[in-house]
Amino acid sequence: MGNRGKPRGVSSSAAENLLPTGARRASGGAVRPGRAERRKLQRKVKRRRRRSAVKEIPLLVGVAVLIALVLKTFLLQAFVIPSGSMENTIQIGDRVLVDKFTPWFGSKPQRGDVVVFKDPGNWLAGEKTTKKNDPVVVKQVKEGLVAIGLLPSDNDKDLIKRVVAVGGDTVKCCDAQGRVTVNGMPLSEPYIHPGNKPSAFDFSVTVPQGRLWVMGDHRANSADSRYHRTEQYGGTVSEDSVVGRAMVIAWPWATGRA
């Protein structure tokens, strides 16, 4: 009679320690959670972790945007090539990474460098480009992503050419073999588009200090310094207008180095 109401097969002392939830009372009087309570506790912990992860997403996005802005402003920026003026070195649609870091330490463009620079004054009118006409909303979204460095720039105010001569140089074309010369020395230009001449017409220009003479590798399809000789500074480009030096073609990978 003394064990009435107690679980069958459980001693009197053990039954007294059982709680309604199935938990057991520890020897010191503390309650040890049962299996159901442990599962409930685990679910609570998982929910808290999920909420914590969701709360961290805006922070992670903010950090990513900040890093992209720093990279774009001070280190590297990607550009989409809209024209064929640098073929076959760089193709239409290639994504080129441009070094913006070294100019901060006084590094100046050298002969042979491929550089991106701001349009000195309506040069792009002579370039044949293949820019897409996106809907207004898509265009605005792209511009925003470009501004923070998450998309490559296809800015219609930037050009890409090769530096042929720098300040103080005299650049001429053509010598008896049809080559471009700098300070009387003929240039070896294996990068010129197959079938193109170094230049279809003669010119002779002394480059002012702080300026550059630039030409496209696809000489027959490049409205470069040669076509602006009658303008102020004789078709040369200011070093200050240079955005950076093209380092590598980021996409497609197979194209290789600029």
Residue 236 C-alpha from the chain's centroid: 28
> Average pLDDT per run of 10 along the chain, which is 258 residues long?
51 49 52 72 74 70 62 72 92 88 80 94 70 60 54 68 98 96 97 96 96 98 94 94 87 58
51 with 144, same domain: the answer is no
Half-sphere exposure of 128 (CA within 13 A, CB side): 10
Quote the pLDDT of residue 150.
Answer: 46
Quote the pLDDT of residue 162.
Answer: 98
Local structure of 111: helix, strand or coil: coil
Model confidence over 47-94: pLDDT tens digits?
777 776 667 777 666 666 666 555 655 577 888 888 899 999 999 989
118 with 231, same domain: the answer is yes
Cα–Cα–Cα angle for 222, 109, 241, nearest 5°?
A: 70
158 with 192, same domain: the answer is yes
134 with 224, same domain: the answer is yes
**CATH code at position 192:** 2.10.109.10
54 with 115, same domain: the answer is no
Specify if 166 maps to a domain. Answer: yes
Quote the pLDDT of residue 195.
Answer: 95
Specify if 167 maps to a domain. Answer: yes
Quote the pLDDT of residue 32.
Answer: 64
Distance CA 177, CA 199 (A): 12
Give residues with Cβ within 8 angstroms of 233, minimum separation 6.
208, 211
Specify if 239 maps to a domain. Answer: yes
- Using an 8 Å Cβ cutoff, are 90 and 98 in contact? no
Residue 53 C-alpha from the chain's centroid: 28
Active site residue 161: yes
Q: Which helix (H) or strand (E) holds 27?
A: none
126 with 150, same domain: the answer is yes
Which residue segment(s) compose the domain that 44 sits in?
Answer: 31-69
Cα–Cα–Cα angle for 71, 69, 239, nearest 5°?
A: 60
- Using an 8 Å Cβ cutoff, are 111 and 164 in contact? yes
Count of domains observed in the chain? 2
pTM: 0.66
Looking at 83, 85, 153, 199, which residue is catalytic? 85
Quote the pLDDT of residue 34.
Answer: 74
112 with 169, same domain: the answer is yes
Quote the pLDDT of residue 158.
Answer: 87
- Measured CA to CA in angstroms, residue 37 lies from 23, 24, 25, 155 at distances of 8, 12, 14, 61
188 with 97, same domain: the answer is yes
Specify if 185 maps to a domain. Answer: yes
58 with 154, same domain: the answer is no
Residue ending a domain, choose from 21, 43, 69: 69
126 with 240, same domain: the answer is yes
228 with 197, same domain: the answer is yes
Specify if 97 maps to a domain. Answer: yes
Contacts 24+ apart (CB under 8 A), 63-67: 65/148, 65/150
103 with 208, same domain: the answer is yes
Residue ending a domain, choose from 69, 92, 123: 69
Looking at 161, 172, 222, 225, which residue is catalytic? 161
